[in-house]
Amino acid sequence: MAKLGIAGRLAAWGERSRLTPLLALFGLLLGLLAAAITPREEEPQIDVTMADVQVAYPGARAAAVESELATPLEQHLARMSGIDHLYSQSRPGQALVTVQFKVGVPRAKAQTELFDAMASWQGSSAYGPPLINIRGIDDVPILALTLSGEGSLKSLADTLKGPLQNVPGVRQVRIIGAEPEQVELTLKPGAMSSLGVDVASLSRAIAAQNPSAQAGYRLGEGLLIPVQAGSFINDLDTLNNLVVAVRGGKPVRLSQLADIHQGPSVPSRYVWTRDKGQAAVPALTLAITKKAGENAVSVSQAVLARLDTLKAQWLPPGLKVEVSRNYGQTANDKANTLIHKLIFATLSVVALVLFALGRREALVVGSAVVLTLAVTLFASWAWGFTLNRVSLFALIFSIGILVDDAIVVVENIHRHLGMGKPLRSAIPGAVDEVGGPTILATFTVIAALLPMAFVSGLMGPYMSPIPINASMGMLLSLLIALTVTPWLARHLLKDSAAHPEQPPRAQRFFTWLMAPFLARRRNRYLLGFGLIGLIALALGLAAVEAVVLKMLPFDNKSELKLVLDMPEGTSLERTNAVLLAMARKLDAIDEVVATQIYAGSAAPIGFNGLVRQYYLRQQPNLGDIQVTLVDKHQRHRSSHQLALAIRQLLTPLTQGGVLKVVEVPPGPPVLAPIVAEVYGPDNAKAARTVQHALAATHGIVDLDTTLVADAREELWQVNRQKAAQLGVSPEAVTQALQGALGGITVSHLALPGQTEPVALTLRLPGSWQGQLANLMNITVTSSQGVSVPVGELIERQSRPFAQPRYHKDLRPVVYVTADMAGKLDSPLYGLFAAAGKLTLPQRFTHQPDTWTGAAVKWDGEWQITFETFRDMGLAYAVGLLLIYLLVVGHFGSYATPLVIMAPIPLTLIGIMPGHALLGAQFTATSMIGMIALAGIIVRNSILLVDVIRHEVAAGMSLDEAVVFAASVRAKPIVLTAVAAMLGATFILDDPIFNGLSISLIFGMAVSTVLTLLVIPLLYAALLRRTGQPRAKAGS
């Protein structure tokens, strides 16, 4: 027997070793363990850390907030490391600076750096204390429980919050829509005026009579006794009888000056829930998040089990608790569905081998595949991945390539047995014969896939389970194919009678196919030019928009969100009325099951809302509608088709507002699908120009801008000279107006039955707030005790509403956002169509360099598309280079790798027409499939070239060797190709990964057929040109 190589020696060891079955069993147990302990989630967990730093600057206009507070704070925070972008918003009275850390920066590290930076910030004493909120993926609720029906919803929600917060794995329970409990003093202006008490003096009097403090210690009987001085007011009777002034020697009690009422504060938000065809009812929502690393499925199940217990024990029967979000359930359903697909994909590959080679060979291949999947699942858990849609799709996608090594090894053993060799002696030689090419081919696939793990931005870690899991699986499948598969073959296969080494039918077919090209150079040139022409035609499909380019396709979810921005200054009641009208109109959509309406508040955020900062939507002119759809298996229209229908149905109801239909993104979210960042000294005017260009572009929808529509505000300024003459302080006038228009919190009470201090608020009757004459007649008390109407002390001015000021990366910016709908449904086409209409300087990859004039930077989905395809293109190039180096190292030739890699561009002949035929968009997942094909298809070339080299070296003529190689390697090549295609068919129905599936199926089908023809001919031409064949070429 000839000396065995490393593959043959491994096979010989694995075939004989008693450790082999034990190691295989251990691998299976590890896989079962990983399946049990790996957390299940719907999406990959990515470290996307953002921090909001909010600082108040009372009384300052937006321009002053920007220049005096926001800009210096931005410059200070910009010194930190690990920052991706820095944003700020400057509004009257406050600044919000948002720090977006680079993807992958852990939350704890970001928090430490930010708090250290803020500790060294020296802000003015005029500013309020900074409020810092660190946010990340763990702030996205996995459960949303909507409460409606009988009883005090706020009290019931507070009662539920504690027990649910104590469920293991729960991070936070937040109540959305609840107004805090307060004691409201509705002032009596007439009584206050006659008794000479104004808002300022009343506030001071109440605060002075509600003190409590730890005074210290007194020494008594040798002990230190702690002393508490004073106590908080803890009942309404005490409050009613509180003496707040003395007039004419008689006490003036609080009940004489105000009506006292305990209850929820004046509504600043409304939350409603509505079933289809029913009236909307008031509601509250409990948004529940989980701790990092916890299993979303088990946490959500534990919370719902605790809720059922609480319902049975003491919740009132009239309380309705609706599960309006359950990402644990959707994650579990998705995981189970994908695991079933994984099983069926494995069975289909085994059935393929059963049909092609026989039942014993199918049993060997099936056992090897199951073992490979088990140890790959364990390796995935050890790497830190969870069971989510991407990691499971990676395993399904990998089925077709993980089985390749086992198929090639088993098929060659099968062929050697067919030549009459004894089983035990055939196995090492058969494995060794294909071992070298198989090892090389495995590393070429890894070389093509692994560079994708280094894609930057959000897309890199989001898709990283695909290259990492597939690469780990390939290595493990190679090891199993060279050790466990020979052991299985020895114990499951049987000796068989000899039959002809070359199947006559295959021999005759390839002789007939290749003879014209081997005989005449002209035919070979015609074949080459024909293939080049087909590649050009395939690429042309994208140019003529027969294949639409898009970052990621639309998903098909059971939820949608409607985001409404009413004009600045719109009252909460009007916003609420518009939202309720929209919710009623949704009854016309059959697939809508229920809605939750949020006026003046944001609905529970998703990953999309985290990045877009929807949690900041707390103004009265803003609102959301959370739309629940029928399960996707029970409807014909996708969620995207429903989004288009809903947008068309509801847009006429906006009453001057802007409605955005927000779908759950299939991948990394962005601010909006189309974003124009307008920089420069006159960016507001330039932003209007961009807005008009987008409005004039066909298919553009959801058009909006951060510019506030023309609105007015009033400045009520105290005439200081006149106030001084009358003995009135400007502070008293300001406090009187605050009490009249917004209310003033003067103190807090410790009331029984409340879990937190209750605010004590002064407010004028609602009837006074809407009448200017009443407001002007509010009185303040002078130093002489005379009541003076505020109308005599203020000067009213009307002025334009101050535009909020936005910065990105220390530069002023105005955002214009939009989406694309219609035939193309890809924002890139709308963006470039609008860009062609603008004369402004434009940048597509980085901020404009100019500071003197207006310029536009296009962002949104375009930016992530550019970064992703740029990085994937680089990964593709690196993969091709690594493949070239590997093949050069194996064959010792610079030209041979070029022949072996020739089929790579041939995949386009299948990929692009495949997308056009199925009406699918070419997306990032399509690109992943194309990159994977580069490594997979090279395997076939290596097998063919290796046979030709060996047969020519053994003395066979070149033409005979070419035909022999094609005929003898056609079966394993076709088997592995069909196996990959079968695995890909099980993800063809997924809206996100169908691009990957189409690339694999059509690219593999076309390139495999052409490889069997083109590679032998190309390699023969190379050998003729270099004069390497030793035997005379002949037929």
Asked whether the beta carbons of 73 and 131 are under 8 A apart, the reply is no
Query: Is there a shared CATH topology between the 49-135 domain and the 181-210+231-266+712-800 domain?
Result: no
DSSP H helix total and E strand total for the chain: 35, 31
Paired residues of 758 in beta bridges: 749
Asked whether the beta carbons of 921 and 547 are under 8 A apart, the reply is yes
Asked if residue 1031 has pLDDT above 80, the reply is: no
Asked if residue 92 has pLDDT above 50, the reply is: yes
CATH of 1-37+357-501, one of 1.20.1640.10, 2.60.40.1190, 3.40.630.30, 1.10.3860.10: 1.20.1640.10
Nearest-angstrom CA–CA distance, 285 and 141: 11
Q: Please indicate whether residue 766 or residue 422 has the higher confidence score (pLDDT).
A: 422
Label residue 892 left, alpha or beta by phi (over 0 means left) and psi (-120 to 50 means alpha). Answer: left
Does the 181-210+231-266+712-800 domain belong in CATH 3.50.50.60?
no
* Confidence at residue 667, expressed as pLDDT on a 0 to 100 scale: 72
Q: What mean pLDDT is reported for the chain? A: 88
Asked if residue 500 has pLDDT above 60, the reply is: no
Nearest-angstrom CA–CA distance, 489 and 423: 9
Paired residues of 759 in beta bridges: 182, 748
* Confidence at residue 530, expressed as pLDDT on a 0 to 100 scale: 93
pLDDT in tens, 47-66: 889 999 999 998 899 999 99
**Helix residue ranges, H only, 175-258:** 189-195, 199-208, 236-240, 254-257
Structure tokens at 271: 């939350």
Nearest-angstrom CA–CA distance, 474 and 92: 59
Q: Once rounded to an integer, what is the mean pLDDT over residues 331-357?
A: 85
Above pLDDT 70, what percent of the chain?
A: 98
Asked if residue 137 has pLDDT above 70, the reply is: yes
Nearest-angstrom CA–CA distance, 694 and 690: 6
Asked whether the beta carbons of 907 and 928 are under 8 A apart, the reply is no
Asked if residue 826 has pLDDT above 50, the reply is: yes
Residue 38 DSSP one-character state: S
Rounded to 10°, the helix 465-492/6-16 angle is 60
CATH of 49-135, one of 3.90.1150.110, 3.90.180.10, 3.90.1150.10, 3.30.70.1430: 3.30.70.1430
Asked if residue 1032 has pLDDT above 50, the reply is: no
Nearest-angstrom CA–CA distance, 132 and 626: 28
Asked if residue 799 has pLDDT above 90, the reply is: no
Comparing 72-86, 398-412, 429-443, 854-868, which segment has the lowest mean pLDDT? 398-412
Tokens 């169908």 locate to 994
Which amino acid is located at 114 in the chain? L
134: exposed, middle or buried (Cβ count in 10 Å: 0-12, 13-18, 19+): middle
Nearest-angstrom CA–CA distance, 631 and 324: 13
Q: Please indicate whether residue 109 or residue 506 has the higher confidence score (pLDDT).
A: 109
Residue whose C-alpha is closest to residue 1003's, from 538, 394, 554, 543: 538
Nearest-angstrom CA–CA distance, 612 and 257: 47
Asked whether the beta carbons of 789 and 777 are under 8 A apart, the reply is yes
pLDDT in tens, 509-562: 888 988 898 888 899 899 999 999 999 999 999 989 899 988 878 888 899 999
End-to-end CA, the chain: 31
Q: Once rounded to an integer, what is the mean pLDDT over residues 970-978?
A: 87
Asked whether the beta carbons of 213 and 175 are under 8 A apart, the reply is no
pLDDT in tens, 595-627: 999 999 999 998 889 889 999 999 999 999 999
CATH architecture classification, 502-546+893-1035? Up-down Bundle (1.20)
Which amino acid is located at 1034 in the chain? G
* Confidence at residue 677, expressed as pLDDT on a 0 to 100 scale: 95
Nearest-angstrom CA–CA distance, 607 and 609: 5
Structure tokens at 781: 């008390």
Which H or E run contains 110? Answer: helix 107-119
Paired residues of 227 in beta bridges: 216
| Residue 500 φ/ψ, nearest 5 degrees | -50, 140
Tokens 């005490």 locate to 238
Label residue 613 left, alpha or beta by phi (over 0 means left) and psi (-120 to 50 means alpha). Answer: left
Asked if residue 404 has pLDDT above 90, the reply is: no
107-121 CB burial, b ≥16 within 10 A, e <16 = beebbebbeebbeee
Q: Once rounded to an integer, what is the mean pLDDT over residues 226-249?
A: 85
181-187/758-763 β-pairing: parallel
Q: If DSSP codes are grouped into helix, strand and coil, which group holds residue 252?
A: strand
* Confidence at residue 495, expressed as pLDDT on a 0 to 100 scale: 65
3-state secondary structure 285-303: EEEEEECCCCCHHHHHHHH
Residue 503: band (very low, low, confident or very high) from pLDDT cuts 50, 70, 90: low
Asked whether the beta carbons of 41 and 505 are under 8 A apart, the reply is no
Asked whether the beta carbons of 176 and 287 are under 8 A apart, the reply is yes
pLDDT in tens, 651-676: 999 988 999 999 988 777 888 999 99
Nearest-angstrom CA–CA distance, 819 and 830: 8
Residue 850 DSSP one-character state: -
Comparing 594-603, 623-632, 734-743, which segment has the lowest mean pLDDT? 734-743
Residue 497: band (very low, low, confident or very high) from pLDDT cuts 50, 70, 90: very low
Residue whose C-alpha is closest to residue 865's, from 877, 875, 873: 873
pLDDT in tens, 809-822: 999 999 999 999 87
pLDDT in tens, 110-128: 999 999 999 989 887 788 8
Q: Once rounded to an integer, what is the mean pLDDT over residues 217-232?
A: 82
- Cα 264 → chain centroid: 36
Residue whose C-alpha is closest to residue 565's, from 705, 712, 672, 687: 705
Domain parsing of the chain, residue ranges: 1-37+357-501, 49-135, 181-210+231-266+712-800, 502-546+893-1035
Asked if residue 1028 has pLDDT above 70, the reply is: no
Nearest-angstrom CA–CA distance, 742 and 740: 6
Asked if residue 646 has pLDDT above 60, the reply is: yes
Asked if residue 316 has pLDDT above 70, the reply is: yes
Would the CA dihedral through 630, 633, 634, 637 be positive or negative?
positive
Structure tokens at 960: 């005979």
Asked whether the beta carbons of 20 and 488 are under 8 A apart, the reply is no
Q: Please indicate whether residue 454 or residue 620 has the higher confidence score (pLDDT).
A: 620
Comparing 77-81, 172-176, 489-493, 772-776, which segment has the lowest mean pLDDT? 772-776
Nearest-angstrom CA–CA distance, 516 and 521: 9
Residue 65 DSSP one-character state: I
Q: How would DSSP label each residue in 684-725?
A: HHHHHHHHHHHHTSTTEEEEEESSPPS-EEEEEEE-HHHHHH
Asked if residue 1034 has pLDDT above 50, the reply is: no
Nearest-angstrom CA–CA distance, 170 and 606: 17
* Confidence at residue 1033, expressed as pLDDT on a 0 to 100 scale: 37
Asked whether the beta carbons of 117 and 77 are under 8 A apart, the reply is yes
Would the CA dihedral through 167, 173, 179, 185 be positive or negative?
positive
Which residues, at least 6 apart from 643, have a Cβ–Cβ distance to it below 8 Å?
A: 560, 661, 663
Asked if residue 912 has pLDDT above 90, the reply is: yes
* Confidence at residue 338, expressed as pLDDT on a 0 to 100 scale: 81
